[in-house]
Amino acid sequence: MSNPSILILPGDGIGPEVMAEVRKVIGWYGDKRDIQFDVSEDLVGGAAYDAHGTPLHDDTMAKAQEVDAVLLGAVGGPKYDVLDFSVKPERGLLRLRKEMDLYANLRPAQCFDALADFSSLKKDVVAGLDIMIVRELTSGIYFGEPRGIIEEGNERVGINTQRYTESEIDRVARSAFELAMKRDKKLCSMEKANVMESGILWREVVTEVGKDYPEVELSHMYADAGAMQLCRWPKQFDVIVTDNLFGDLLSDAAAMLTGSLGMLPSASLGKPMANGRPKALYEPVHGSAPDIAGQGKANPIACILSFAMALRYSFDMGAEADRLEAAVEKVLADGVRTADLLGEEGVDPVSTSEMGDAIVAALDASL
C-alpha cells in the first residue's frame, strides 16, 4: 500500500517559514511513529508568478488533483498589487479551490485555555470556545456571473452576482450536518433571507436537507445578527453553515475571538476520491504577513494545526491529530509564545523555528 501523498505549496511572505515547521512535524511522524508521507513541493501565488508568469502553473494544478492532500502556506504581498487582476497571487488559490471543487471550507475557532486572556472579549465569554464554521467555497458572489466594471452613462459601475443552485447549497449543507452529527448535534445556518432571494433559497434547501438529519437541532439566523451574537456569546454555537461571502466575514470575526489569527487552521474539502477520502486543501487562516517575512517572527501554529486537520480528515488518523493538537496545547500551557501571543511583561518571544522545535519536543513527550 502506497504512502499518503502531500503536495506542499509554501507560497509567499511567511508561508515558507511556517511550512518549514510543518515539515519538522511530518518528519517526526516518519521518524517516531513510522508514519511515512510522500511529500512533494511546488510554487503558488506570487512565487509562481515570479517563476512562470502565472499564479498557478498547469503542471502544479495537475499535481494538486493527484495527491491525497495539499498543504498551502499563504499567498500575496504588496509587490504584486500592480499586477492585472487575472494574475494576482490570490487567483492561484481561487483556481485550486474551484478546479479541485473544494466546496466545504471548515474553519474551527477554538480558544485554548492558555490564551483566553488574549481575546478581545472577556475571558468567561471565550474560555473553552470550540466552534466550527462551514463556509461554502466555490460559488456565491466570488464566482457569480455577470461580474466586472462597466461604463454606464457617465460613470463606472462595479458588478458582482450572488448566485447559488440548489445542488450547491445541498452539498455544503450535508457536509455541515455530517460534521454536526460528530459534535454536539447542533447546527445554525446563516444567510440574509430577509433581503436576498439567494438567502431565501439557502434557508429552504438547508431546511429540507435537515429532514435527513432529525437528530441535529437546526436553527436559522440572519448573518448580520450572527456576527453580533458571535461577539456577544459565541459559545451558544457549535457548527455554523453559511455562504461564501458571509463565511469569509464571519470566520475572520470568529478568528479574533481566539486571540490571534496565527492560531487558526482551515480545511477545504471536496468530493470523495477513489479511496473514499475527500479532495482536500489545508491552509492557515492568516495571510502572508510580508511585513515580518524572513524575520523569524511568524507563528507556525495555524499551519501545524492545519496539518492536524489533514491527519483527521484526509488520512483517517484521528488519534494522531489529537496527539498533535495536545502537543500544541501543552506548549502554550508551558508559556511558550511567539511575538503575536505576548501579553505578559518579562516573557521573551520565541522564533518561528523555536516554536516548531517546542511542539516537536512535546510530541516526543507524548510517547
Q: In angstroms, rounded to a whole number, what is the distance separating the alpha carbons of residues 223 and 250? A: 8
Q: In angstroms, rounded to a whole number, what is the distance separating the alpha carbons of residues 362 and 326? A: 9
Is 32 an active-site residue? no
Is 357 an active-site residue? no
Residue 23 backbone dihedrals phi, psi, to 5 degrees? -60, -35
Given the residues 101, 170, 252, 357, the one annotated as active site? 252
Given the residues 224, 316, 322, 357, the one annotated as active site? 224
Spell out the residues 6+ positions from residue 86 whose beta carbon is closer than 8 angstroms to its own: none
Given the residues 192, 279, 297, 330, the one annotated as active site? 192
Residue showing cell 491529530: 321
CB 288 within 8 A of CB 90: no
Spell out the residues 6+ positions from residue 145 whose beta carbon is closer than 8 angstroms to its own: 161, 163
Question: Is the backbone of residue 276 left (phi > 0), alpha (psi -120 to 50) or beta?
Answer: left
Given the residues 49, 142, 164, 213, the one annotated as active site? 142
Q: In angstroms, rounded to a whole number, what is the distance separating the alpha carbons of residues 283 and 253? A: 18
CB 317 within 8 A of CB 311: yes
Question: Is the backbone of residue 84 left (phi > 0), alpha (psi -120 to 50) or beta?
Answer: beta
The 8 Å CB, 24+ separation contacts for 117-123 are 117/259, 117/343, 118/258, 118/259, 118/260, 118/341, 118/343, 119/256, 119/257, 119/258, 119/259, 120/256, 120/257, 121/231, 121/234, 121/257
Q: In angstroms, rounded to a whole number, what is the distance separating the alpha carbons of residues 323 and 328? A: 9
Q: In angstroms, rounded to a whole number, what is the distance separating the alpha carbons of residues 234 and 342? A: 24
Is 248 an active-site residue? yes
Element (H, E) at 324: helix 318-333
Q: In angstroms, rounded to a whole number, what is the distance separating the alpha carbons of residues 300 and 354? A: 10
| DSSP code at position 181 | H
Element (H, E) at 212: none
Task: Provide the strand spans (E) within the chain.
Answer: 5-11, 38-41, 69-74, 104-110, 130-136, 144-152, 155-161, 186-191, 217-222, 239-242, 265-272, 278-284
Is 224 an active-site residue? yes
Is 142 an active-site residue? yes
Given the residues 80, 248, 279, 340, the one annotated as active site? 248
Catalytic center residues: 142, 192, 224, 248, 252
